[in-house]
Amino acid sequence: MPEGILLLLPVLLLILAAEFVNGWTDAPNAIATVVSTRVLSPSQAVVMAAVLNIAGALATGTAVAATIGKGIVSPEAIGLPVVAAAMLAIIIWSTIAWVYGIPTSESHELIAGLTGAGFAFAGPDVLLWEGWQKVLIGLGISTFLGFFLGTAIMTGLYWLLRRTRPSLVRKAFSRLQILSAAFMAFSHGSNDGQKFMGVFALTLMLGGVMTEFTIPIWIMLLCGGVMAIGTAVGGWRIIHTMGFKLTKLEPVHGFAAETAGGLSILIASAFGIPLSTTHCINSSIIGVGATKRLSAVRWGVAGNIVMTWIITFPACFVLGYFFAWLFGFIF
């Protein structure tokens, strides 16, 4: 029996609330470097990110959304309370991290929250190993590939530009970084932008509104728009941490980090692998900063970010489990 509209609407609103919070803590990753180098103003960067996030989701298919929507936990074994529990876990954990200006991975929050809530309702059999294989591959790609690509690209640029005047380098890469930031925003939409679209579509299917799992354009536009509003309202805390606190960036460094992060994300998206765009761009920035000298990276700030990444999985699993248990008790 499809669950009533009275339950469906609040769950859809929770998904949009989680997408809004995603705009606070995750989406700013795509524009942090271009703002910190003052190549674009915050308002210009937000508009660019909003348009290209949606374009990325439209242009690259819905493989990542499908993995999230029907590849992590079995849709047949869960209901709307499971989705609601996962969204509450995301909202609470992301808000706590945002207060401290720490970028979080909504990807891992979403996966952990859904898994914890699914466990509470249906036990370990709810997990789908094929989807979890992609999650584990994505964890490796986002953590290590971004760092190594950032290091490699920046090292190559140092060699190519070794005889070029610094003033000319800054002038040229102030323009080129607009392209790399656009590429990063497009890549973000191709992977991260799809995730809540997948959950939104799954919820409509669980509520009986849709009979099969599809991602219509109106869902892409709605979720992308809500995420952009979240970034415009509260994204500055994360931009400040990544663009100013982690390491000092010039346009050439921002170009290298955004290019490395964008390439990592597109590689994963091509295979439908959900990964953390937060991990990608942060590890790329650290890799770029480390090419100057190790002390150029503020390792205390980096350590706080990494510790939050580590805690995210168990914290959101427990929160998802708790809320799902609570909803099961109430309903």
Quote the DSSP letter at residue 28: G
Residue 235 has what pLDDT?
79
Quote the DSSP letter at residue 145: I
Spatial distance between the Cα atoms of 265 and 281, rounded to a whole number of angstroms: 9
Residue 63 has what pLDDT?
67
Could you read off the pLDDT tens digit of each residue along the chain, which spans 331 residues?
A: 444 677 899 999 999 999 898 888 877 777 778 888 888 888 888 788 778 877 877 776 666 667 776 778 887 767 889 899 999 999 999 999 888 888 788 778 888 898 899 889 888 888 887 777 777 787 777 778 888 999 999 999 999 998 899 899 999 998 899 999 888 888 877 777 677 888 898 889 888 888 887 888 899 889 888 888 888 887 778 877 776 677 777 889 989 998 998 888 888 777 777 777 777 888 888 888 888 877 777 878 778 878 887 899 899 999 999 999 998 887 6
**Token pair of 242, please?**
């990544």
Residue 318 has what pLDDT?
96
Task: Say what the alpha-carbon torsion angle 111, 83, 54, 265 is, to the nearest 10 degrees.
Answer: 10
Residue 208 has what pLDDT?
85
Neighbour tally for 9: CB within 10 Å? 11
Residue 1 has what pLDDT?
44
| Domain of 92, in residue numbers | 5-330
Q: Are 21 and 94 in contact (CB under 8 A)?
A: yes
Predicted structure pTM score: 0.83
Residue 61 has what pLDDT?
61
**Token pair of 140, please?**
């490796």
Spatial distance between the Cα atoms of 206 and 204, rounded to a whole number of angstroms: 5
Domains in the chain: how many in total?
1
**Token pair of 152, please?**
């490699």
The one-letter code for the residue type at 244 is: F
